[in-house]
Amino acid sequence: MNKKIYTTPGITRHQHGHMNPQAHGQSANACEAIDGIVISDLIKQHGSPLYVFSESTLRESYRELHKAFSNRYPDVQLAWSYKTNYLKAICAVFHQEGAIAEVVSDFEYEKARAMGIPGSDIIFNGPYKQPEALERAVNEGAKIQIDNMDELLNLIHIAEQKQQVVNVAIRIYMDSGVKPIWSKFGFNSDTTEALQAIKRIHLSKYLKLVGLHTHVGTFILDPNIYRVATEKMIELAMRAEKEYGFNITYLNLGGGFASRNHLHYQYFSEGATTPSFDAYAEAICSTIKARWPIGKPLPKLYLETGRALVDEAGYMITTIVALKQNPDASGPSAGISAPAARDKSANRSNPNHGAAGYLVDSGIHLLHTSAWYQFNVRPAKPNNGTQIERLLYGCLCMNIDVIRQVVPLPNMNVGDQLVIHPVGAYNITQSMQFITYRPRVVMITSNRSVEIIRERENLNYIEQLEQLPEQLQLRADLKNLPFIETRKQVTHG
Ligand SMILES: Cc1ncc(COP(=O)(O)O)c(C=O)c1O
């Protein structure tokens, strides 16, 4: 008689994806083409994995955002947040549309200048502005937004040395409803900290406060948060004016608008809860108009929107390289060791092979935002098979490399492609060269041509900054020997 095995009771973490009535089917449709270019043709020509950007989507998003604000407000300027995606082609599209640059480091500053953006059209943010970069920004008339008191003092020093009056803004933070409050950056305007900074600027002969900046957080799903932040910012502007005689000519509400991605633990499917650009614009513009003193010219409004402009324009095409069996299954008919599972050709010919997971040729090193989002994952070819929940493993030799813990997908085979979307924000800039070459990046232009905007990496590229000390160089005559032979000769003369 078979004796039942006792299993210790346990608690399994609730998976929100299971509960989501819209999750099933979110991957139902195939994504056969991007902007009319067939996925299989893209892969044939450019290899897999492949990042793909849609120029039309970039331009449409920019125009939609700009329109939402300029319909409500007379003086709005968008600044492209370089850190969100600083591929030259992406920056160029936004600059062509009229964006200035928003940068947060010496590297990004240099990049914007190399793109041809004048210093006066660069907003310089960031908690650490390297001294040389800060000095360059002063010389070139950049819009410097001071993050902390030490930076303020450095700036006073630079201005004094040059005997030059420098227009500045300060970054502030406040309780606007985002929890936890982003208190790492800027000066607290709910306490006296921000006012102290303004006082210090006032005491210096060479700094002039002309603007206020805040970036309340990111992926803000409640536009009302911007209403509160704008109100508090205007209150501070009025105090700076009344108590220290400064004329605040600009307000910068930073970034933070949500893209149509799907946060982990969010009940509704992607985009369902993302406010429209109009909703954000209404919250900010109506507040400025209502709170700004009558008769005083309205301040210029800057925005540093990042993810909401670029996320949806970016796709990752990846190829299934192995079918994985259910890690929880036991017994002879399940698990990776089952003969049928090991036999890939059997799997290929069996439409019901029922792989529990797919291993693909990209990974979390290329899809950093998988930590925040449940990407939409769709087959690149129509597939009417029943979708079951599967794991999507990346190709890294690391256990944490899981792109989706649960994603409904039909039976697919090794060699089939999946399209992962939206991945346009932060994945390129935060991608990591780890055990593989970072892939090619292409842009489908508005006139439907496919342009390479970043080449696939190669060994020369990766090793170009390395140096091998003389004494570690392998002797030419040893180089081609098998390792064991080489070692013998090195150790025994
Ligand atoms: C100062 C600043 N501005 C703009 C952005 C862009 O933010 P988002 O991508 O959320 O729009 C960021 C991102 O962290 C930021 O730190």
Q: Quick check: 436 and 409 in contact, CB under 8 A?
A: no
- pLDDT of 53-78, one tens digit each? 999 999 999 999 999 999 999 999 99
Of 176, 369, 409, nearest to 259 by C-alpha is 369
Q: Whose CA is nearest to atom 7 of ligand 1?
A: 255
Q: How far is the CA of 307 from the centre of ligand 1 (A)?
A: 8
Q: Quick check: 61 and 310 in contact, CB under 8 A?
A: yes
The confidence score (pLDDT) of residue 478 equals: 66
User: Reduced to 3 states, what is the DSSP secondary structure of residue 98?
Assistant: coil
Q: Quick check: 420 and 51 in contact, CB under 8 A?
A: no
Q: How far is the CA of 211 from the centre of ligand 1 (A)?
A: 18
The confidence score (pLDDT) of residue 355 equals: 80
Q: Domain coordinates of the chain in residue numbers?
A: 16-51+313-460, 55-309
In a mutational test of the pocket of ligand 1, which residue from 85, 171, 215, 251 has the highest number of ligand atoms less than 8 Å from its CB? 215
Question: Can you identify the CATH homologous superfamily of domain 16-51+313-460?
Answer: Lyase, Ornithine Decarboxylase; Chain A, domain 1 (2.40.37.10)
Q: How far is the CA of 412 from the centre of ligand 1 (A)?
A: 38
Q: How far is the CA of 300 from the centre of ligand 1 (A)?
A: 19
Q: How far is the CA of 133 from the centre of ligand 1 (A)?
A: 20
Pocket of ligand 1 (CB under 6 A): 81, 84, 102, 125, 215, 218, 254-257, 304-308, 425
Identical fold for domains 16-51+313-460 and 55-309, yes or no, is no
Query: Which atom in ligand 1 lies closest to the alpha carbon of residue 171?
Result: 1
- Residues in the chain with pLDDT < 70? 1-28, 269-271, 327-354, 477-493
In a mutational test of the pocket of ligand 1, which residue from 78, 304, 307, 373 has the highest number of ligand atoms less than 8 Å from its CB? 304
User: Reduced to 3 states, what is the DSSP secondary structure of residue 470?
Assistant: helix
The confidence score (pLDDT) of residue 482 equals: 61
Contacts of residue 282, defined as CB under 8 A and 6 or more positions apart, other chains included, come to 72, 223
The confidence score (pLDDT) of residue 476 equals: 74
Query: Which atom in ligand 1 lies closest to the alpha carbon of residue 217?
Result: 10
Give the percent of the chain with pLDDT over 70: 84
In a mutational test of the pocket of ligand 1, which residue from 77, 78, 81, 123 has the highest number of ligand atoms less than 8 Å from its CB? 81
Q: Whose CA is nearest to atom 12 of ligand 1?
A: 255
Contacts of residue 168, defined as CB under 8 A and 6 or more positions apart, other chains included, come to 144, 145, 146, 155, 201, 207, 208, 209, 210, 211
Domain 55-309 has CATH 3.20.20.10: yes
The confidence score (pLDDT) of residue 491 equals: 45
